[in-house]
Structure 1
Amino acid sequence: MNLADWLNATARAKPDAPAIFEGTRLYATYAQFAARAKELAAGLQAAHGLKAGDRVAIFMKNDPTYIELFYAIWWFGGVVVPINNKLHPREAAWIVENSGAALLVSDDGKVGTNAELPQGCVEIATGSPQWRALSSHGKGGDTPAQVASDDVAWLFYTSGTTGRPKGVMLTHWNMRVATLAYALDVDQPGEEQATLYAAPFSHGAGIYNFVFVRVGGRHVFPASRGFDPNEIEALSRHFGATVMFAAPTMVKRMIEAAKRSGYRGEGIRTIIYGGGPMYAADIDEALALFGPRFVQIYGQGETPMTITSLRRELVADAAHPAWRERRASVGQAMACVELRIATDGDEKPAGEPGEILVRGATVMKGYWRNEKATAEAIRDGWLHTGDIGRVDEDGFLTLTDRAKDLIISGGTNIYPREVEEVLARHPGVLEVSVIGAPSAEWGEDVVAFVVGRPDGDCDAAALEAWCRAEMASFKKPKRYILCAELPKNSYGKVLKTELRRKLVDG
């Protein structure tokens, strides 16, 4: 079944239901949404010779065109290749070439003027004459093209923090099962809900579009085309029953803004957070201000949004004897996957850390044109995530760190997340990230990069005293580096590779 079949079914059942908004302005009903997808599909095929299985790359900020283009590509059986819009044009061009995309759609049509696109690939800008001409080729097929469940629908490129990004092949079946898992394990969707795309549509926020297309919910693209806490507040108040995906750093910014404005989450139904560490002090503060509106998920591009979930009642619970540990976890395995903790193939008992392994219907088909990396990642049917964690006797998974971020000092394992949690509780700390630095004496030293609050006491001496009182001496940072901000990618993840580079560069 084609993912676009869901749009087709909803448009037939609820043609007049509001589908897409740009800010508070109604952009399209479901009938108009489906008609536009058909029209674009016909134009893409006629003007550019695209056919089933062809890849179309998208390099743009969030706006209604994004979701229309997704469904147009699927309508004729193509593959979407969304690209992080904050990448350099050369990086975007590399993804275009690697994916073998025949067409690149961008905001301004200038990727090809700043980088060399592969021969045969055409770039068009949304709003350009070439883009508008796509509407002149008829209405297109009445129903979406037939595809196999194992056909690739979405070619997702990893962030590439350890080298060139890899193209994750996500099939129509992968995405359908991930969508069903949302309804079982994350939140109960409804047509009265409005999903707000403040996080990049190219990643997690976009993956959550399917469930709202299926139930006939509203899709809201902020007029700013990005993340603005004040805009989110206004849109949530306007639409009500608002659902959004946010990285923990985005949640933190929302809470900081709410403390200044007095906003208490009115109009927000659910904030689904994931994609990075949510420190205990931050989720405690978020719950105190907004109440039980939070759900945590843990996933990877290789099994999108679907490893574990911590439902709202568990995030908010403060009555269970182990509520603190559960709130610090990422929840229990979703219904669509199996979970194992193992080291060198040996499964670890409850409570012991090891690599997180996942098996299930949402695990990727493999890496695009990279059999070696696929064979390394998927062994005996299990996806090796590269994350370290432990599972308690009740099945709650607690993330420790990425395997590559583990610090080994004096022969002892130190998990940066543990040190970050302690520093995040300091009243003068706004943000923190901990890495290991080479040490001739110890192998590695613990180094903390800290962003202080404007009105907080956050010098190295104060932080050293805090850590001395809160953790074992061997875990304490050897250095505290105060900085104005932490380097992040467009999804809010702290780039520890950049922090390591800063240490090398001095």
Structure 2
Amino acid sequence: MAEQTIPNWLAKRTFLTPERIAVESSGHVWTYRELDERARTTAAKFACFGVREGDRVALLVKNGMHTVEIIHALHYIGAVLVPLNVRLSAGELAWQVTDADARLFVYDSSQEEKAKAVAEKVPGCEAVSWGTLASTAPGSGDPPLKRVMALDALHSIMYTSGTTGRPKGVMLTYGNHWWSAVSSALNLGLHTGDRWLACVPMFHMSGLSILIRSVIYGITLVVHESFQPDVVNRALMKEKVTIVSVVSAMLDRMVEQLGSSAYPETFRCMLLGGGPVPLPLLDKCLRKRIPVFQTYGLTETASQIATLPPEYMADKSGSAGKPLFPSELRIVADGKEQLPGQEGEIVVKGPTVTPGYWKRERATANTLRDGWLHTGDIGYVDEDGFLYVLDRRSDLIISGGENVYPAEVESHLTSHPAVREAGVTGVPHPRWGQVPVAFVSLKDDHAVSEEALRQYCREKLAKYKVPVRIHFVDKLPRNASNKLLRRELLKLL
């Protein structure tokens, strides 16, 4: 059987619509023709540093036009992208660069100090700044540019956050990313005038998927270096952004900053991921007619694999929707598929699912079984097939034999008018095995006592779900995508 291939995304898009706006950021604008020329030139510069097809290139940069240029240049070389989280320590980054067997390590000026510390720890990998790379003169002769990609060729290695032990490198192919883009378009629809805002980091799946989808769709990628609620709201209100990807903590700040205003009709999609969403936040969005598409996805599925359209926000509040074309989803427990309403592990299958973990055969075998990805997340589907995600299995608290889902307790705590955000985790208990404890930060100019919050919980939650202690903190630990890091909560003590 012949190898299945696809044209280079940027080359094909430039051929189709060369004068469309490809990317803009901070007043700078490139058409697809201009982006393509830059990517080809930078690919030639990568070749000067000895980068060849299949080499891994680690990238430590913040969001920017240069990030888009670099990633498309790597596509032209056929090199494998290894995006690095700028919030990690030098030691953590060095471990990932070493584990990926990276040929080159590229960083921008914002990461220079940390990059030098990484380079000292990984002498076998050449480190080069973006400034040096950009100023390098391309070598004589045109480098061999990849105009066609095999669908099963490795596109990127993205390291998980590592909830237990060392992080794992999730391998993602061109086919994984292609089908993710197709699945999303079949669900969200596609308008030629769409402008998708990336204010989430491109070293995470959410941000990287926007970059890839924009070029496949032929729409404009609007890049923000970081998330600022007022700046994002202005882009939605004044700059005709039609789609933005966020997590619940970001959305909550946007809604608060929005005040009594409303988003214009040109804004059509608030793509909301990052885990279970507090119901009080969804209620606010319903009242303000914000078109929220709640999603469920993982790095291992190249972004969203299930999404709830806004027409179901009221009837299916809290659901992550149904699996997208052409993916499948089941709930299993003790090796058996569960009936509607029964809880179990979420397992998924489809062309967006990773082929496995980089150099981790055992982890791959444990996670991928008979073509199904075992996510480690707990949930159920209702009679209509809508998915409800309860929590990560690793975050589940078992107290006296009863399951306590931190997300449920957090959702109730954040419904209190004084609470800005909440995090819940378990601590050992001699009688019950584990009991929940909570960490909350309060809104400005608001006050509430620990006992008042515990009483608030008692009014709606079962006794075993009520936190035995509630600690007040300035802010909760979150990763670069603003996802809550429950495993870090106890360190606040």
TM range (shorter): over 0.9
Secondary structure at 2:251 match in 1: helix
Q: Which residue in 2 is equivalent to 1:237?
A: 237
Secondary structure at 1:284 match in 2: helix
Q: Which residue in 2 is equivalent to 1:403?
A: 393
State how many pairs are aligned: 485
Q: Which residue in 1 is equivalent to 2:262?
A: 264
Aligned counterparts of 1:121 and 1:3: Cα–Cα separation in 2? 31
Deviating more after overlay: 80-89 vs 389-398: 80-89
Aligned counterparts of 1:3 and 1:429: Cα–Cα separation in 2? 49
Per-residue Cα deviation, 1:207-257 (whole angstroms, up to 9, x for no partner): 1222221232111122xx101112112323343143111111111111121
Give the deviation of 1:101 after TM superposition: 0.9
Unpaired stretches in structure 2, ≥5 consecutive residues: none
For the 8 Å contact 1:292–1:313, the answer to whether it is kept is no
Aligned partner of 2:45: which letter?
A: G
Per-residue Cα deviation, 1:162-185 (whole angstroms, up to 9, x for no partner): 221110000011111111001112
Aligned partner of 1:379: which letter?
A: R
Mapping of residues 77-226 of structure 1, within 5 Å: 77-108=78-109, 109-115=112-118, 116-128=120-132, 130-135=133-138, 140-141=143-144, 144-185=146-187, 187-203=188-204, 204-222=206-224, 225-226=225-226
1:214–1:227: structure 2 CA closer, same or farther, 3 Å change rule?
A: same
For the 8 Å contact 1:435–1:448, the answer to whether it is kept is yes
Mapping of residues 329-344 of structure 1, within 5 Å: 329-344=319-334
1:2–1:255: structure 2 CA closer, same or farther, 3 Å change rule?
A: farther
Aligned partner of 1:211: which letter?
A: R
- Does residue 501 (structure 1) correspond to residue 472 (structure 2)? The answer is no
Secondary structure at 2:436 match in 1: strand
Aligned counterparts of 1:275 and 1:9: Cα–Cα separation in 2? 32
Give the deviation of 1:85 after TM superposition: 1.5
Q: Which residue in 2 is equivalent to 1:19?
A: 22
Secondary structure at 1:350 match in 2: coil
TM-score scaled by structure 2? Answer: 0.94
1:424–1:3: structure 2 CA closer, same or farther, 3 Å change rule?
A: farther
Runs of 4 or more, structure 1, over 3 Å off, are 1-4, 109-112, 134-141
For the 8 Å contact 2:107–2:128, the answer to whether it is kept is yes
1:237–1:71: structure 2 CA closer, same or farther, 3 Å change rule?
A: same
1:281–1:112: structure 2 CA closer, same or farther, 3 Å change rule?
A: closer
Q: Which residue in 2 is equivalent to 1:251?
A: 251
2:298 to 297, 300, 306: 300
Aligned partner of 1:172: which letter?
A: Y
1:137–1:434: structure 2 CA closer, same or farther, 3 Å change rule?
A: farther
Q: Which residue in 2 is equivalent to 1:60?
A: 61
Aligned partner of 2:211: which letter?
A: N
For the 8 Å contact 2:276–2:318, the answer to whether it is kept is no
Q: Which residue in 1 is equivalent to 2:274?
A: 275
Aligned counterparts of 1:134 and 1:105: Cα–Cα separation in 2? 17
Aligned CA RMSD, in angstroms, stands at 1.8
Unpaired stretches in structure 1, ≥5 consecutive residues: none
For the 8 Å contact 1:3–1:176, the answer to whether it is kept is no
Per-residue Cα deviation, 1:344-374 (whole angstroms, up to 9, x for no partner): 2111111010011111111101100110111
TM-score scaled by structure 1? Answer: 0.92
Aligned counterparts of 2:121 and 2:45: Cα–Cα separation in 1? 22
Aligned counterparts of 1:331 and 1:42: Cα–Cα separation in 2? 44
Give the deviation of 1:138 after TM superposition: 6.1
1:13–1:140: structure 2 CA closer, same or farther, 3 Å change rule?
A: farther
2:335 to 315, 320, 345: 345
1:485 to 471, 475, 485: 475
Mapping of residues 436-451 of structure 1, within 5 Å: 436-451=426-441
Aligned counterparts of 1:232 and 1:351: Cα–Cα separation in 2? 38
1:72–1:425: structure 2 CA closer, same or farther, 3 Å change rule?
A: same
